[in-house]
Amino acid sequence: MALTEVNNQIEGIKQQIDNLEASVAGTYSSWDGESGRRFSPMDRVGLAAQVADLQRQTEQARQAMQGAENRRAKAMQSLQNASRNRKVVTNLKEKRLQAYNAELLKQEANEIEDIFNGRRSAR
């Protein structure tokens, strides 16, 4: 998976966690707003169930975020390895080109020397 996709997933999950945490706070606030009426045991059970469900969803989202962060770490490692490999290949190409150019210069020098020596022996 591409690094940008994983980063987008992480941002989406962070937003989801923020929304769930705000929902928990909103649930408590809505029950506080109804404090004018009597708070029955069933109301408490309902509140506890709502909060427990939101907390469960939040925990699932956090686990999903951990998985996405692991995928991001793998993608970053893969990107670093690819970059390192590319640099190695580039350096090898450069060294081969330098060796080739040195060999060409050596051959050219030998040819010039042969021509020069050939003219000397012809005299």
Q: Domain for residue 34, yes or no? A: yes
Domain range enclosing 81: 3-95
Higher pLDDT, residue 116 or 17? 17
pLDDT of amino acid 1: 61
Residue 118 lies inside a defined structural domain of this protein: no
What confidence tier does 47 reach under pLDDT thresholds 50, 70, 90?
A: confident
Q: What is the pTM of this model?
A: 0.62
What is each CA distance from 50 to 7, 29, 41, 47, in whole angstroms? 30, 13, 14, 5
Whole-number Cα distances in Å, 43 to 27, 33, 95: 12, 13, 77
Residue 77 lies in a domain: yes
61 CB burial (10 A radius; 0-12, 13-18, 19+): buried
Q: Is residue 18 part of a domain?
A: yes
- State the CB neighbour count (10 A cutoff) for residue 6: 20
Answer whether residue 122 is part of any domain: no
pLDDT tens per residue, range 73-122: 999 999 999 999 999 999 999 999 999 999 999 999 999 888 888 766 66
- Count of domains for the chain: 1
The tokens describing 109, both together, are 């020098």
State pLDDT tens for residues 49-66: 988 999 999 999 999 999
Is residue 113 included in any domain, yes or no? no
Domain membership of residue 119 (yes or no) is no
Closest CA to 9 of 57, 82, 75: 75
In a domain, 121, yes or no: no
